[in-house]
Amino acid sequence: MRLARGTAPRGSAIPLTPLVDVMLILLVFFMVTSTYLNLDMIPMIDRAEEDMPPARGATAGDAAGAAMLVRVRADGALVWQGRVLTPEALGEVLAARVTEDPGARLLVLPAGAATTQALVRVLDVAQAAGVRAVNLLRLDGP
C-alpha cells in the first residue's frame, strides 16, 4: 500500500511580514514608554572615610578641624548660626571657612520633616564649597 505523503510546497517560506509588524509595534512601545534619567550618586556610608572621627559622641575638640553646624528646617530653609541663608550665601560662608581651615568638618542637623531634596541641597553646597568631611546628625526621638 502506498500512502500519499504531503509535500510541503516549495517556495512557501514562513511569512516575515507579521514578524516585522510585531517587532515594530514592540519597538515603538518601548521607545514611547522608556524614560531616561541621568543618574549620579552621593556617598552616604563609606568605610574608607572611617579614619575621620564620627559625629556621634564626638566633640569639636576631638576633630582635626573645626566643626561647623548647619540646620535644615522643616520648610527646607538653611540656618547658619541662627540666620537663615540662601544656598548661595551658605556656599560662600563655607568656602571662606574651608579656606581658613581645610580640615573643617560640616555637621548637618536636618529636621525630621525636611525633605530629602533639602538635605541633598546642603550636601551639594558643601561639596561645591570644598568641604571634605560632612556628618549627618540624627536626633533619636521616642
Which residues of this chain interact with another protein, rule CB under 8 A? 16, 19-20, 23-24, 26-27, 30-31, 33-48, 72, 110-121, 123-124, 127-128, 136, 138
Task: Report the alpha-carbon distance of residue 8 to residue 141 in Å, rounded.
Answer: 79
The H or E element containing residue 99 is: helix 87-100
Nearest approach, Cβ of 75 to another protein (angstroms)?
12
Q: Give whichever of 80 and 135 is closer to another protein, judged by the CB atom.
A: 135
Whose Cβ is closer to another protein: residue 83's or residue 138's? 138
Tell the smallest beta-carbon distance from residue 85 to another protein (Å). Answer: 18
Residue holding cell 520633616? Answer: 113
> In terms of DSSP bridges, do strands 78-80 and 133-136 run parallel, antiparallel, or are they unpaired?
unpaired
- Least CB distance from residue 100 to another protein, whole Å? 22
Q: How far is the CB of 72 from another protein (least distance, A)?
A: 7
Contact 108, 123 (CB under 8 A): yes
Nearer to another protein, 4 or 48 (CB): 48
In sequence order, what are the residues at sequence separation of 6 or more whose Cβ sits closer than 8 angstroms to the Cβ of residue 141? Answer: 112
For another protein, the closer of residues 58 and 136 by Cβ is: 136
Single-letter amino acid, residue 115: T
